């Protein structure tokens, strides 16, 4: 049985007669490539979302809109981007549900920020205006799949083990980042300017947040980012084994 991987979505509107669930295709392509069975989770009621999470062996919380600052006790600044409060409300509760269930979790870009806020942390609403000396974290004129800077990995971290070294090249498509850390999180990756690029939740089976977009790199054939999805799928496979009926129950 393939691990079932739930992938969070946002809302998109193509025209007056076509609007609804949207997720970038590279998320499910990256999952498929390492042997997972991807399903897209709609922005339904939290009760429905929780039931869908129960059916999944692992969860990916995806990128997208800025998080409404009121979710972490701040007023919005002028540089804040587009927000979607409905998504914030659902995902903050959903990610806590995933953590409580100790299901494998890979939180990407906005997803890493949701993870941090859900655990009581805060964000830089806009790096260029709030973080002195920040690199250009929104790459321009470069494909999403291309790496633009290195991140440094903490020794003995799960990320260092997955990537097999003290650093890895990543893409960069964010203007926000983690500020004060949420409870239980530890920083395991930083960019050269000191911006937090990766976190891991202590005591969890597998709960990693990354600020870059590994799905774009993996879908384009990047072997390092494929390793990240493969490690996530390997942990999710454990849930599959637990769901299998025993031989006694079959007999």
State the pLDDT at residue 250: 45
CA 166, CA 156: separation in Å to the nearest integer?
9
> pTM for this one?
0.95
Active-site residue (options: 56, 91, 109, 235) = 109
Give the burial string for 78-103 (b: 16+ CB within 10 Å, else e).
eebeebbeebbebbbebbebbbeeeb
CA-angle at 96, arms to 128 and 109, nearest 5°: 30
Residues 152-182: pLDDT tens digits? 999 999 999 999 999 999 999 999 999 999 9
Nearest to 104 by CA among 158, 154, 152, 161: 158
**Among 91, 197, 200, 215, which one carries the catalytic annotation?**
215
The answer to whether 146 and 181 have CB atoms below 8 angstroms apart is no
pLDDT digit string (tens) for 190-208? 999 999 999 999 999 999 9
What confidence tier does 249 reach under pLDDT thresholds 50, 70, 90?
Answer: very low
Active site residue 150: no
CA atoms within 13 A on the CB side of 156: 2
Given 56, 200, 213, 235, the catalytic residue: 213
Q: Show the domains of the chain with their CATH numbers.
A: 4-244 (3.40.50.880)
Per the CB < 8 A criterion, the answer to whether 11 and 21 are in contact is: yes
Beta bridge partners of 106: 60, 208
The pLDDT tens digits for 45-103 are 999 999 999 999 999 999 999 999 999 999 999 999 999 999 999 999 999 999 999 99
Query: Given this model, what pLDDT does residue 126 score?
Result: 97
For the question of residue 215 being annotated catalytic, the response is yes
CA distance linking residue 105 with residue 58, whole number of Å: 6
Of 115, 128, 122, 6, which Cα lies nearest the Cα of 60?
6
């Amino acid at each position: 049985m393939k691990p079932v991987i739930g992938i969070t979505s946002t809302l998109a509107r193509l025209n007056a007669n076509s609007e609804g669930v949207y997720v970038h295709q590279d998320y499910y392509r990256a999952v498929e490539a390492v042997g997972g069975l991807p399903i897209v989770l709609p922005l339904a009621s939290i009760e429905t979302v929780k039931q869908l999470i129960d059916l999944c062996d692992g969860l990916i919380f995806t990128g997208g809109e800025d998080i409404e600052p009121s979710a972490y006790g701040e007023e919005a600044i002028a540089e804040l981007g587009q927000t979607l409060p409905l998504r914030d409300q659902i995902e903050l509760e959903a990610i806590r549900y995933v953590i409580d269930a100790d299901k494998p979790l890979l939180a990407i870009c906005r997803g890493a920020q949701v993870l941090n806020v859900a655990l009581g942390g805060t964000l830089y609403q806009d790096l260029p205006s709030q973080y002195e000396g920040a690199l250009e974290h929104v790459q321009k004129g470069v494909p999403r799949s291309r790496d633009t800077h290195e991140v440094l990995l903490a020794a003995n971290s799960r990320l260092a083990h997955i990537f097999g070294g003290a650093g890895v090249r990543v893409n960069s498509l964010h203007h926000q980042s983690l500020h004060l850390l949420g409870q239980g999180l530890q920083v395991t990756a930083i960019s050269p300017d000191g911006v937090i690029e990766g976190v891991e939740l202590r005591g969890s089976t597998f709960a990693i947040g990354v600020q870059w977009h590994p799905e774009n790199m993996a879908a384009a054939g990047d072997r390092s980012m494929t390793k990240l999805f493969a490690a996530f799928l390997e942990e999710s496979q454990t849930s599959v084994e637990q769901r299998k009926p025993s031989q006694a129950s079959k007999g």
